[in-house]
Structure 1
Amino acid sequence: MTRSESSAWQPLSRRHVSTRDEALFEGVPDHLVRPLGVWITGYLDGRPELTERVALQLRVALDAPNPEQLVEAVSISDTSTLLDVVDVALHLDKRLWWDLDVAGPEAKMEAGLADWIPAFGWPEGSRAAAVEGLAEMLTDAGSAFEVDWRQRCLQRRVNATVTTAAAQAMGMDGGGHLQASWAATYGRHPDPSKAYDEAIRAVEAAAIPVVLPNGTKETLGKVLAHLTQATDKWELAIGGQNAGAIGPLTEMIRLLWQGHVARHAGGPTFRLQHQDEAQMAVHLAATLVHWFTTGAVRQRRSV
């Protein structure tokens, strides 16, 4: 049985009830309170400086930088705040940064003995290994949140295929803005307007060098205007019956640009962006970034 098959396993009572996924739990449900508290205590044990920084970030007063006291203090009023403790601890932990960005995983001596044994894994006792245990715990508990390994924090759980596609786009031009948009969309404390702003900036960073490379102070609106006026000079990689016409591209850009209602504060149409708008915007931006940075949008060869 492979790792993915194991993660998809369901207990007998739920195995054949429905083909739909079980609803995910928001916050920290009762069955997750104790194991999450134990994980936090173990992760912060012997790290008074990290415990102190987490408490300061969350505005929690402690008699001493004691992980158990921190867990108890944040759990009194709202157990969901335990997720904030985890989120902040992951993001501030420089040892975790080292494990992920420098040391990396190590080859497993037992690799190949069975198909479920991975070829590489985190060293026992490393911070990354502890976070991997956290990730499994959140999955097993049906949490609506998961570990964001790229930005070292928690994020709202998203379909794995969609996450992989977005991660690929984050490594391209505009990827920094795309990362910021993703974090503001799916992080512990979503900020839909910021997410939408960053989605626009991500597409601008990818599209302007392709469409308006010699201009100054260009915007996505100017990119859209140029493509709309010069449709015969551009094509998409997919030819089809429309011979690569860029109509689908301009409609996608128009949808993203005109839906940016939070762009002009004080204007007649101004309002904060909604969460579902941010979610659609970040995924639309990921597609557009990919198209512009891989040559899927290009000048017609006859021009």
Structure 2
Amino acid sequence: MSNWVPLSVRRGIKPPNQIEEGVPQHLAPALEYWVEGIFGYRSSRGMNRDLIHNAALAVRIPVVNGDGSAMMHHLLSQCLQNGDLFLDVIDYLLSTSVGNSGAPHLEQSLSIGGSAWMAARDLGGLRRRVDETAQRSYDVATSPTDQASDELKQAWDRAFSRDPDASDAWDHAIKAVEAALIPIVVPKQDKAQLGHVVGSLRSQGDRWNFILPGVKMDHSVQPLISMLDALWPNPDRHANGTQRKPTLDEAQSAVHLAVSLVQWARGTVLTLRTTQ
């Protein structure tokens, strides 16, 4: 989000601006202008009637058949009455090559307008805006081209998209950590899972050195084991009668934890102890 704070807020006259979940009145005209541009309203090439049709079909609303301008205005008139529908249309447009090319301009409006949703060309849709530090950590963690990055991207998408899936997000978070830690801790284990990593660290903890010294100043891996215990298993996969679907807040926290664990695994946070 924009870091600018209104003078009235800095002077204590008004409360701080709040993050906007839907489409508030002050943001609607900017979003309407962006959608018009994506549909070709101000383009010398004319209106993209196919894109308008497809957008309407994607969000399951009818539009009148006619010239492109009439179709677009009919679609937008319904969007302006329903913020969730408006965001769904924008989310769809960002998934197309035409809409994706305009993502930077849209993100500028969303950020300045205080939207809870963000857009970027690499997202392919709207994603829930998160703390800037957490976003940077995710960007760094997914910068290498490997399986852990692929799984983290899927976990992030399932956790922060317009159509989230908490259980699937948690599953991909676990797979990302597995991809990062299995080659380090149990590289020879057949069909290894995160449970094997945890079990090995717990039974052979004296072989490993965790970068943080801990309470006993012995660099025990127990803090790492505790974090892995928090991540694994997904409560939706419990087989002891306590199976339940995780909440979205839980899944988002699991994804944030996975981001940190993957970053650590790629560095020197966990190393074999040298023999004396």
Same topology, TM > 0.5: yes
Provide the C-alpha distance between the structure 2 equivalents of 1:20 and 1:275, rounded to a whole number of angstroms: 29
Provide the C-alpha distance between the structure 2 equivalents of 1:160 and 1:72, rounded to a whole number of angstroms: 34
Note if contact 1:50-1:93 (Cα within 8 Å) is conserved in structure 2: no
Moved more, 181-190 or 234-243: 234-243
Note if contact 1:60-1:74 (Cα within 8 Å) is conserved in structure 2: no
- 2:89 corresponding residue in structure 1: 85
Find 2:152's aligned residue among 178, 181, 191: 178
- 2:194 corresponding residue in structure 1: 220
Note if contact 2:119-2:126 (Cα within 8 Å) is conserved in structure 1: yes
1:54-65 to 2 correspondences below 5 Å? 54-64=55-65
Structure 1 segments (4+ residues) deviating >6 Å: none
Question: What residue ranges of structure 1 are gaps of 5+ in the alignment?
Answer: 97-126
Note if contact 1:184-1:190 (Cα within 8 Å) is conserved in structure 2: yes
Note if contact 2:38-2:99 (Cα within 8 Å) is conserved in structure 1: no
Note if contact 1:181-1:282 (Cα within 8 Å) is conserved in structure 2: yes
Q: Does residue 172 of structure 2 align to residue 168 of structure 1? A: no
- 2:270 corresponding residue in structure 1: 297
- 2:243 corresponding residue in structure 1: 270
Note if contact 1:62-1:70 (Cα within 8 Å) is conserved in structure 2: yes
- 1:23 corresponding residue in structure 2: 18
1:1-303 to 2 correspondences below 5 Å? 7-17=2-12, 22-45=17-40, 46-64=47-65, 66-76=71-81, 78-93=82-97, 96=100, 127=101, 130-172=102-144, 173=146, 174-239=148-213, 242-258=217-233, 260-264=234-238, 268-302=241-275
Question: What residue ranges of structure 2 are gaps of 5+ in the alignment?
Answer: 41-46
* Percentage of pairs with the same residue: 33
1:54 shift after superposition: 2.3
Indicate the SS of the match to 2:271: strand
Indicate the SS of the match to 2:188: coil
TM-score, normalised via structure 2 length: 0.86
Moved more, 247-256 or 35-44: 35-44
Provide the C-alpha distance between the structure 1 equivalents of 2:166 and 2:13, rounded to a whole number of angstroms: 33
Provide the C-alpha distance between the structure 1 equivalents of 2:58 and 2:183, rounded to a whole number of angstroms: 39
Provide the C-alpha distance between the structure 2 equivalents of 1:18 and 1:201, rounded to a whole number of angstroms: 49
1:55 shift after superposition: 2.3
Note if contact 1:236-1:298 (Cα within 8 Å) is conserved in structure 2: yes
Moved more, 130-139 or 55-64: 55-64
1:31 shift after superposition: 2.0
1:273 shift after superposition: 0.7
